Every structure is written in C-alpha cells, then in structure tokens.
Amino acid sequence: MSNLPALQIILPLMAAPICAMVGRPKFAWGLATLVAWASFAISILLFLSVRDGTVISYDMGGWAPPLGIEYRVDVLNAFVLMIVSGMTSFVMPYALKSVASELHESQHAYFYTAFLLCMTGLMGVAITGDAFNVFVFLEISSLSTYALVAMGAARDKRALTAAFNYLIMGTIGATFFVIGLGMMYMVTGTLNMADLAQKIAANGDSRTLRMGFSFVLVGIGLKLAMFPLHLWLPNAYSYAPSAVTTFLASTATKVAIYVMARFMFSIFGFDYDFQANTMQFIMLPLALVAMFAASTVAIFQEDLKRMLAYSSVAQVGYMLLGMSFLTQLGLTATVVHMFNHALIKGGLFMAAGCFIYAVNSSRIDDLKGLGRIMPWTSAAFVLGGLGLIGVPMTAGFISKWYLMQAAFELDWWPIALLIVASSLLAVIYVWRMVEVLYLRDLPEKNDVRAVPLTMLVPMWGLLLLSVYFGVSADITVSAASRAANALIGASNIFWQSGG
C-alpha cells in the first residue's frame, strides 16, 4: 500500500518498452489496457486515502526531501491522477478498432508504447513534488505526444507538419519553464515545491523572482494553449489519430492547468502584488478573449475535429478565468470544469472518431444526414454538445454555475454576463452540427461503415457519466472544493501539514 505513489508511475513506464519489444499489436493493446485499468484502480485507492485531507509524501529511492525527489499526493493531485488514468481506461477499449482503422498495422505496437509513455508523463507531472521533475515528466509526455500526433500521417500528411509545429512551440514552452525554474533556484536554492513555497515567502520580493514567475507563466501557458499561445493546438488535434485527440483533449491541457494552479497558488502564492496583478490584469482579460475569439472561430470551421479543437481553446479560457479570480470559489470552478470538460470533450472527440470510422472523413459537409443511419453516435454528439453549452442537467452546467457564482461573489457581474454570452456562441456551433446531422438529406451514394460496439460503449459511458455528474454533482464539487482549499487559503499551512 505504501508504495502506491511509485507504482502509479512505474507500471506504465515499464509496460511501454515491453509493448515495443514484443511488437504484436493485440498483445500491446492488451497490456496497455490492463496497465491503464490497474493505474486507474491505484489512483482511485490514492484518492480515497487522501480524500479527508491527509497528504501522502513518498520519498523516491529513500532520499528524504528537500534533497531527494518527493512524490506528494493531496486531494488535487489525486483528482488529476484519476482524470488521467480514468480517461486512459476509457480510451483504450475505444482505441482497439479506431486505431486499427486509422493506422497501419506495423505502427500499432509503437502507438501503444507512445501512448503509455504519454500517460506516464502526464501522471508524473501530477504526482511529483519536485519542480524540476515536473519539467522532465512534462517533456516525456510532450515528446511522446509529438510522435502520436505525427502518426495521424497515415490518414492525412498534414499531421507531420502539425506535429513539427507543436514540437517547436512545445519545446519553446518547456525551455521557458526551465528558465523560470532556474530563476527560482537562484533565489531559493531549492527545487522541492514545499521548500520553494516557504523560501519564496521568507525571502521577499525580488526582480529575479518576478522574472521566474513570468517565465513559468508563459512556458506553461504555451503547454496549456492559453489564448494567444494556442496556435499549435487546432492542427495537432485535427490531424492526430482520433484516439489520441480524445486522450489529449481530455488530459494534456488539464494536467497543464494543474501545473499552472500548483505553481501560481502553492509555490508563488499571492503575497506580492506583482503576481496577483499579473493574474487579474493579464490572465483574466486573456481568458475572456479566449472564450469569445476561439468560440467565434469554431463557428466558421469546416472540419468537425478542428471545430472541437477551437472549442477546447475556449474551454481552457473558462478554466483560466476561474483561476484568475484568485478566490476559493473560482478555483473550485476551475477544478470542477477540468473534470467535467474531460468527460464532455472526451465523449465529443470519440463521436468525431466514430464519424471518421464510418465515412472516413471529419469534414462537416461529409456528415450530412448521418443522424438517420447513425442514431447512437449522433445522439451522443448532441448530448455532448448540450454539455458544452452548459444546459442544466449536464456537467457543463455545474462548471458554469460555479464559475458564475465566483464572479457574483466578487460583484463582477459583467463577467458573469460574458460567461453566459460566450455560452451562446457554443449554441451556434453545436446547432450547426445538429442541422447537418438531422436536417440535411443523406447523399444518395453513401458508403457508411457500421461503428463497432467497442467504440460506442466508451463514448456513451463518458457522456452518461457527464450527465450523472451534472445531476448529482456532490462528489465532484466537494472534491474540487477541498482541492481548492488545499491550494488557496493558507498554502503554507497546507504544505507544512504533510511534511
């Protein structure tokens, strides 16, 4: 039991090379699925044991922090771990047929290898308590993501340039992050997150610290597609294999949001005006612009996956907005939305993958009238779309409800109005799909493949869960609220209680 935090990372890390070495597609898929489910079970166990507010601190290799690398699990980490491993568990069964139809058979084993490495990296980022370790895991996940995106070249060669551009932007982001860490190390002489938090509070404000803060902000901003830094995202999501898009959209940006929250709230804190001002006068406007600009661009897209990708940029805007309120309620909204959006966007991208499986195209024009012959997939898409808009009884409503409450709490009612207004933009692009699917005539010559059950079941599973968490939000909201408490309030009290 006490080695669970290490197992969480080691299991997928060890399974990845085995997949590549054995090289048989079915075996690689089986092992990856098994590992994903085992990881999910581990993260549920971890979540249950830290739910009451205890903090698990695990010394990697027996070296005590702050010198050794520490794995540190609190409510927030465990919640993010659960999102990542849970989404992997849902994507794996889906990937079997989807990957088989989109990639050449010789690539399958390597696909699952890269997939497991990506999952390892994301979970490592979430679980580690060491700032430099975050960078290493971030790059493990990013490098495998570039490879995964490039595998979409079997369907469309533009995946290669998408992966290349992502690599350039992602590496610049990661390097900025390292520069920021370097500045923080200059000021404090430590890299352990808990230690950093205390030393930054003790050392006082300095220009080096401010530069470190800014570099970390921009670096992570690139990784999470913060509005003007989102340019890599639409192409990467559009041309990657469907299973990869589903996985990335529901986990990669969420983990980056987690890193942002962890660095902003737990490490830097808001003792100094510079940090708080940056959040409220730079991040908040950018988040608002993202909500409107990205949603507007989404309306004009001709490709379903690209439309959903732009919608993701807008949804990241909601998460950053919640964070930039700098209140407990705002952070709660961010964490809840991380979870809810993972379910909704995961389901929607799975539906897009089903359309691609059926008609081998994700162009909206090629999907005309499919509502009649693909009732299950189309209905799932509409259900996910409702969640995206934030209709009551869906998970998206819960997120927006808390986001608006957070705005009202600060008496920032114009922002609450803007949240509603931007949701109306989502109505337009979701309605556009409804119109194409249900109100257009099916072309006379159609060549529609039946979508297998292994793809339909995970998709419906995710979307039904999103409805479940929309109706009874107690579990998610209470977990998110405790996670927000862990981050804000007295970040120092939080860090001291565990160590």
Partner 1 sequence: MPDTMINMDLVTGHYNYWLVVVLMMTGLFITVSRGNLIKKIVGLNLFQTSVFMLYISMGKIKGGTAPILTDDPATVYSNPLPHVLILTAIVVGIATTALALALIIRIRESYGTIEADEILEIEHQIDDPDPSPTNPANALMARIRGNR
Residues that bind partner 1 (CB under 8 A): 132, 135-136, 139, 143, 146-147, 150, 153, 157-158, 160-161, 163-164, 167-168, 171-172, 174-175, 178-179, 182, 185-186, 191, 299-300, 302, 363-365, 432, 435-436, 440
Minimum CB–partner distance for residue 36 and partner 1 (Å): 24
Q: Which residues contact 447 (CB under 8 A, 6 or more apart)?
A: 359
Minimum CB–partner distance for residue 365 and partner 1 (Å): 5
3-state DSSP assignment of residue 55: coil
Say if residue 37 is exposed, middle or buried (CB neighbours under 10 Å; 0-12, 13-18, 19+): middle
- Select 132 or 468, whichever has its Cβ closest to partner 1: 132
From CA 426, how far away is CA 428, in angstroms rounded?
5
Contact 246, 356 (CB under 8 A): no
Minimum CB–partner distance for residue 17 and partner 1 (Å): 15
- Select 29 or 135, whichever has its Cβ closest to partner 1: 135
* Closest C-alpha among 120, 109, 150 to residue 26: 109
- Select 361 or 485, whichever has its Cβ closest to partner 1: 361
Minimum CB–partner distance for residue 136 and partner 1 (Å): 6
Minimum CB–partner distance for residue 192 and partner 1 (Å): 12
- Select 442 or 475, whichever has its Cβ closest to partner 1: 442
- Select 12 or 170, whichever has its Cβ closest to partner 1: 170
Minimum CB–partner distance for residue 435 and partner 1 (Å): 8
Minimum CB–partner distance for residue 127 and partner 1 (Å): 18
Task: Please state the separation of Cα 369 from the chain's center in Å.
Answer: 32
Tokens encoding 130: 């060491």
Q: Which residues contact 73 (CB under 8 A, 6 or more apart)?
A: 5, 46, 50, 55, 56, 58, 81, 127
* Closest C-alpha among 406, 384, 381 to residue 340: 384
Say if residue 119 is exposed, middle or buried (CB neighbours under 10 Å; 0-12, 13-18, 19+): buried
- Select 208 or 280, whichever has its Cβ closest to partner 1: 208
- Select 71 or 265, whichever has its Cβ closest to partner 1: 71
Task: Please state the separation of Cα 472 from the chain's center in Å.
Answer: 22
- Select 171 or 280, whichever has its Cβ closest to partner 1: 171
Amino acid type, 27: F
Give CA separation, 383 vs 302, 341, 387, 463, 472, in Å.
21, 13, 6, 7, 17
Contact 101, 92 (CB under 8 A): no
- Select 74 or 303, whichever has its Cβ closest to partner 1: 303
Minimum CB–partner distance for residue 436 and partner 1 (Å): 6
Minimum CB–partner distance for residue 181 and partner 1 (Å): 8
